[in-house]
Amino acid sequence: MHDLPGIVITGAAGRMGQTLIKAVSDSDAMRLIGVLERPGHAWIGQDIGVAMGGAEMGITVGDDPLEAFASAQAVIDFTAPVATVAHAAIAAQARIVHVIGTTGMDEAELAKIAAAARHATIIRAGNMTLGVNLLTLLTKKVAEALDEDFDIEIVEAHHHHKVDAPSGTALMLGEAAAAGRGVALEDVSDRGRDGISGARKRGNIGFHAIRGGDIAGEHDVIFAAPGERIVLRHIATDRSIFARGALRAALWGQGRDPGEYDMLDVLGLN
Ligand SMILES: NC(=O)C1=CN([C@@H]2O[C@H](COP(=O)(O)OP(=O)(O)OC[C@H]3O[C@@H](n4cnc5c(N)ncnc54)[C@H](OP(=O)(O)O)[C@@H]3O)[C@@H](O)[C@H]2O)C=CC1
Ligand SMILES: O=C(O)C1=N[C@H](C(=O)O)C[C@H](O)C1
């Protein structure tokens, strides 16, 4: 018998997968009991420590979430929308905590996650860091205090491998700004200006994505008015900050009722 919660990491070969595996292995509050990759991936069947270029860890990379989740207390999932939706249904069957960092999900995929949350404890956030979650609260507060003389623009920068835009974090910040203004983000969201796109519409919230090099993640919320500008900024310099939040969420979720939670719940900031 083990007292510490058993954790499965999906997307084991990914940037976040490897960061999470290291973080769970280093933690004395949980134990790594399984790591998964997509069927057919070159790492399947290898020891995860060796596959990551280090010492043996005694855990073989698998491709069967059903089997891995059956003996786990939580799965931490930073993969891709299609994979995460499939994992959510299996985690719900297994009645385990599902921590979701995956971004870029569409409305239909989010509805499936919500359905799974009827049976599973799901903690999902486009950004798991304390800093960004605090920044959403500040953004809401500033947006509440200012009128539409202040144009809101959200600028995000990420590494050149990132596949989704705007980033999950940018959308969280946009939601916070819209909430502060008392409007729905979908009614004011302004994305992808190009060519003669016309003068900026008062009250809109603009999104801009920079992709390049190895940028871990940078977000600015700009409030620009004639003669002055307020800029709220978060800079991630190390992926371990995302992992730290995800591990905290996996522990926080133990024994919680099924439902969909976010990092503000975990951090006690809601
Ligand atoms: N919420 C947060 O705080 C953060 C969220 N993210 C998000 O996490 C996600 C992953 O980011 P990152 O690690 O950089 O991306 P990577 O592409 O490096 O990693 C994703 C991994 O998931 C694997 N994968 C895809 N499908 C499956 C599957 N069906 N089963 C198991 N594994 C699968 C991929 O395999 P393959 O390469 O073969 O496709 C890959 O190894 C993104 O959505 C990103 O935006 C990232 C950082 C922080
Ligand atoms: O893909 C990434 O790398 C990141 N994704 C998240 C997002 O979409 O906001 C969080 C972080 O910015 C890194």
Is residue 184 included in any domain, yes or no? yes
Q: Which residue's alpha carbon is nearest to atom 27 within ligand 1?
A: 38
Active site members: 158, 162
What are the backbone dihedrals phi and psi of residue 73, each rounded to the nearest 5 degrees, phi first?
-100, -20
Tell how far the Cα of 168 is from the centroid of ligand 2, in angstroms: 6
3-state secondary structure 141-178: HHHHHCCCCCEEEEEEEECCCCCCCCCHHHHHHHHHHH
- CATH at residue 212: 3.30.360.10
Q: What is the dihedral of CA 189, 237, 141, 127, to 10 degrees?
A: 60
Same domain, 86 and 138: no
Number of residues assigned to the chain: 270
- CATH at residue 117: 3.40.50.720
Same domain, 259 and 229: no
CA distance 66 to 64: 6
Ligand nearest to the CA of 171: 2
Same domain, 140 and 216: yes
Tell how far the Cα of 62 is from the centroid of ligand 2, in angstroms: 25
| Cβ pair 237, 153 in contact under 8 A | no
Same domain, 108 and 165: no
Same domain, 108 and 208: no
pLDDT 10s digits, 185-196: 999 999 989 999
Is the Cβ atom of 180 under 6 angstroms away from ligand 2? no
Q: Given this model, what pLDDT does residue 270 score?
A: 86
Is residue 1 included in any domain, yes or no? no
Could you tell which of 21, 35, 38, 113 is best to mutate to test the pocket of ligand 1, judged by most ligand atoms within 8 Å of the CB? 38
Residue 184 structural domain: 130-236
CA distance 215 to 91: 32
**Cα 220 to chain centroid, rounded:** 17
For residue 6, which of 221, 267, 251, 255 has the smallest C-alpha distance?
A: 251
Tell me what percent of the residues of the chain surpass a pLDDT of 70. Answer: 99
Same domain, 70 and 35: yes
Is the Cβ atom of 246 under 6 angstroms away from ligand 1? no
Same domain, 10 and 116: yes
pLDDT 10s digits, 35-85: 999 999 999 999 999 999 999 999 999 999 999 999 999 999 999 999 999
Is residue 55 included in any domain, yes or no? yes
Is the Cβ atom of 103 under 6 angstroms away from ligand 2? yes
pLDDT at 1 > cutoff 70: no
* Structural domains of the chain, count: 2
Is the Cβ atom of 133 under 6 angstroms away from ligand 2? no
Ligand nearest to the CA of 124: 1
Is residue 207 included in any domain, yes or no? yes
Bind-site residues = 11-16, 37-38, 101-103, 125-128, 159, 168-169
